[in-house]
Amino acid sequence: MAKTAKIDVKEQNLLISLQGFFKALLEKGGIEAVLVPQHLPMKNSVMPTLVTDPEKIDDVDPLAPVFPMNAAKIVSKLTRRPLDGQIAVVLRPCEIRAFIELVKLKQGRTDEVVLISMDCYGAYGNVDYGRFAGDDGVDASLRFYENIISGKGTAWEDIDISPACKACDQPVSENADLQIGTLGVDTKDQLLLKALTFSGETLLEKLALPETPEPENRQTAIETLVSDRIAYRDKIFDETSEATSDLNKLTTYLGSCINCYNCRVACPVCYCKECVFSTDVFDHEPTQYLNWAKRKGIIKMPTDTVFYHITRLAHMSTSCIGCGQCSNACPNDIPVMEIFRTVANYTQKAFDYQAGRSLDDEMPLSVFREKELSELTGGKD
């Protein structure tokens, strides 16, 4: 049975209580550094920060309903080589799933990392968050949670959390070392800490926090949120499948792509050191464009946009974790997440695989299974 403890909420202020917890990690938990979102001096800027000084923890804010990048890429950079010390990283559930995929791709290590995750209610897009936060990001974070707890939901004026978040069916991380729970918890009084691994239990013991049982209605609260998310997710799958059901529709769907490659850069599991689309293979001679145009009388510029997305889908739909950073990074508001999540759903089902679920799950196409996909190859069981 998982070990559970609590963080007492001081003055009914979640942020102050969480900041105290992170300070305790550095002072008592044997943790060298904490990677955690923090408000920066620049207006409305919330970015991952690596904190080693407990006195520098006062502006951290894992409650902020925004994440301008998937921090799994940062954890990958921090863990490729031995650290000579243990760090704690505070990540959203989708970020932990992305990191697990990167570890399986030999892009990171778990040896010196404690994975900490909070229940996730979602995040606004970068531009929308700026409007929501105004001049006081800390107040905005508390307002976001108060709205949810009071039943007002995540919508504010004419904006809402991103489609990726509304379609996320895993708002609670089951593969973190330590889970910070708010769903089904009386957050005016406490936050739930649940150790899911030996590393998590060890950390709780060092902090000597008071033990508490998991609230009886926590699982019901989780299931209710997941049910709503699944309904929205399946609606996206149906609509996107119809909108991209043939080449003409797919071309229209991706028609405003300008080959900026922002989606590739933002994707946490697109890990190649050199992308084929940035090599001489796609550095066409000027005469080639003219020849293509002469053949049909007209060609769309830039070229290769649909081919680029199809290549990415074939390359990494097995590892897509649906964080939505691809759409967040698109300058022309193409619903990139929707098509990647939809195709990933079909791909991962075909291989009976769920990206980021476990380090023990072997990645599709990384091992040979003699009887796999026999319905396609014609093999017999």
* Closest CA relative to residue 142, chosen from 150, 166, 327, 245: 150
Pair type for strands 113-118 and 178-181: parallel
pLDDT reported for residue 196: 95
- Tell me the whole-structure pTM to 2 decimals: 0.92
Half-sphere exposure of 234 (CA within 13 A, CB side): 6
pLDDT reported for residue 372: 65
**CB-based contact 286:355 (threshold 8 Å):** no
pLDDT reported for residue 340: 96
pLDDT reported for residue 373: 64
pLDDT digits (tens, 9 = 90+) for 266-292: 999 988 888 888 888 888 899 999 999
Half-sphere exposure of 131 (CA within 13 A, CB side): 12
Peptide bond into 302 cis (omega under 30): yes
From CA 42, how far away is CA 48, in angstroms rounded? Answer: 14
pLDDT reported for residue 377: 64
The residues of the chain scoring below 70 in pLDDT are 1, 43-44, 368-381
pLDDT reported for residue 375: 66
Question: Rounded to the nearest 10 degrees, how much is the dihedral formed by the CA atoms of 84, 85, 86, 87?
Answer: -100
pLDDT reported for residue 72: 96
